[in-house]
Structure 1
């Protein structure tokens, strides 16, 4: 209601036109803003060149952002429908570029020349350090989560993984030999597999080696006489048929472990921690 005596503003055609203009702009901008707000702030086009990174990305709830993965990325099942971009040593640079990623996660083992090529083409490449322990895996989770705008999810994932680890190490850990691949390929002290064995309550017989992965001689294994053997590759029967295998403490105790998930245990990702828990139960199962 107008106040009597108050000066009345003269009618201005421009004011009316300006009002219609503002209404039209508002009609365009508001729906745009609402749509923008409804999209995840972290939504990106992501390429992962390592299976462990792919598993971390899915565990963070960001699997829908993956537009490309490596040929070896086979878990979870959803990876089957994602474009394959080569392996982690020799990624297909042209294919990765064609996927128009906002970020590419590559590991320490990924070809340096490929990373340089992609960077020169304007693609953001995040090369994560090689994981040599559970702590390093947690660091990779934090780096990936931060890059994807999912820091809170990253911390939540780390807490859930830590909760899976055994509470305390036994006073006398079981001496363990792990055969990661045929030909005596095993893990030294500078590897996440050695740390996983320790977290499960074991002691890697090659834990004193200042290297990651190498071929151990059968004579060395016999000399160190492990109390348990983990086979990630090869059959138990083949192992038992090796010269003097019957004299090993592990064979006498019936501790030849073949029940671990090879992919899950050999990748520095979230599934490793369930396997550590499983290994603890296998190492200390009642005979």
Structure 2
């Protein structure tokens, strides 16, 4: 009959060896590549990739990034703001990104959905998420870092992180060059820009801080005429417009919408600003200018050229 092991008299190394021997049978099944091994499960979960072979992209920048990554073949539908590149327009349109119909999205039978932050309405998103379709929200933002983050999130969701990293490097270099050129303009030469989102019945809704318009104006070497007054897009008073002293009024080109230059310039507050006196109204493509996607460096250069007549070299 064997003697029992006396822990009180054992040397430390003997205790450690005994504990290992006793516990090994319990630990081994967990570490082995069997069906119940935790390492096997962890690896399997890490390697598991969302099926994005039939993808719906919501948000112009998101769709552009998918194509820029060379993954446009996965797309089965897009929202109405996704009009670049040309191939995107041929896809079924599931509606405006902020007024989505879940039935319209589900009807194209997607295996995954990529939607930029701010898409909605919330109840529509709740229906889509509850339908069991993998859903990824791409964070919105209006600066260099935000653009690169969008590319990173889309690339990882599609399972092409290496392609995303290469695109980030390319886009970052282009952005850095465009921003650096615009930043060369002296502060005292920078124009003040009033971005008008809507003009109806003499009422003006303008862009404040933390908006795409505010972001692109700053990157292009200009100043938002409403700087520091408010955030988001809000109605502005005549007094605020006059106080802002805009040198340029910027509005977006929208087919069949908006007011004429004459109507805007005739506004009592605008007419007495430098922009009104010089009849300085600038109209630009909203999706290109405010998308904050892979083409933003081009948008910075375009706006800088429109404002100042040339681009620094």
Q: Determine whether 1:171 maps to 2:186.
A: yes
Q: Distance in 2 between matches of 1:199 and 1:185?
A: 22
Q: Do the aligned residues in 1 keep the contact of 2:54 with 2:75 (CA within 8 Å)? A: yes
| Structure 1 residue 204 corresponds to structure 2 residue 218 | no
What SS does the aligned partner of 1:165 have? helix
Which of 108, 120, 127 matches 1:117?
127
Partner of 2:236: 216
> Which consecutive unaligned segments of at least 5 residues does structure 1 have?
1-41
Q: Which runs of 5+ in 2 are unaligned?
A: 1-50, 253-257
- Structure 2 SS opposite 1:278: helix
TM-score, normalising length: structure 1: 0.75
- 1:10-159 → structure 2 map (5 Å cutoff): 44-109=53-118, 110-148=120-158, 149=160, 150-155=163-168, 156-159=170-173
Counterparts of 1:54 and 1:247, CA distance in 2:
42
Cross-structure match for 2:293: 269
What secondary structure sits across from 2:179 in the alignment? coil
Q: When the two structures are superposed, what TM-score results if normalisation uses the length of structure 2?
A: 0.69
RMSD: 2.6
Name the CA distance, whole Å, in 1 between partners of 2:121 and 2:81.
15
Regions of 4+ moved over 6 Å: none
Please report how far the alpha carbon of residue 244 of structure 1 lies from its aligned counterpart in structure 2 after TM superposition.
Answer: 5.2
Which of these residues, 256, 266, 283, is aligned with residue 281 of structure 2? 256
Deviation at 1:210, TM superposition (A): 4.4
Moved more, 51-60 or 191-200: 51-60
Give distance in 1, aligned partners of 2:91 and 2:105: 12
CA–CA distance in 2 between the matches of 1:244 and 1:87? 33
- Tell me the equivalent position of 2:45: none
Given that residues 161 and 270 in structure 1 are in contact (C-alpha distance below 8 angstroms), is that contact kept between their aligned partners in structure 2?
A: no
Question: Residue 185 of structure 1 aligns with which residue?
Answer: 205
- Give the Cα–Cα distance (whole angstroms) in 2 for the partners of residues 104 and 116 of structure 1: 13
Separation of aligned partners in 2, 1:180 and 1:262: 10
Change (3 A) 1:43 1:158: farther
CA offset digits 1:253-276 (Å, max 9, x no partner):
453222x22331132323343222
Alignment partner, residue 284 of structure 1: 308
Are the aligned partners of 1:200 and 1:276 in contact in 2 as well (CA < 8 Å)?
Answer: yes
Provide the rounded CA distance (Å) in 2 between the counterparts of 1:89 and 1:247.
36
1:70 to partner: Cα distance? 1.3
* Contact 1:70–1:85, Cα closer than 8 Å, also in 2: yes
Alpha-carbon distance in structure 1 between the residues aligned to 2:229 and 2:147: 21
Partner Cα separation in structure 2 for residue 211 and residue 129 of structure 1? 18
Give the drift of 1:194.
0.7
Which shifted more, 118-127 or 245-254?
245-254
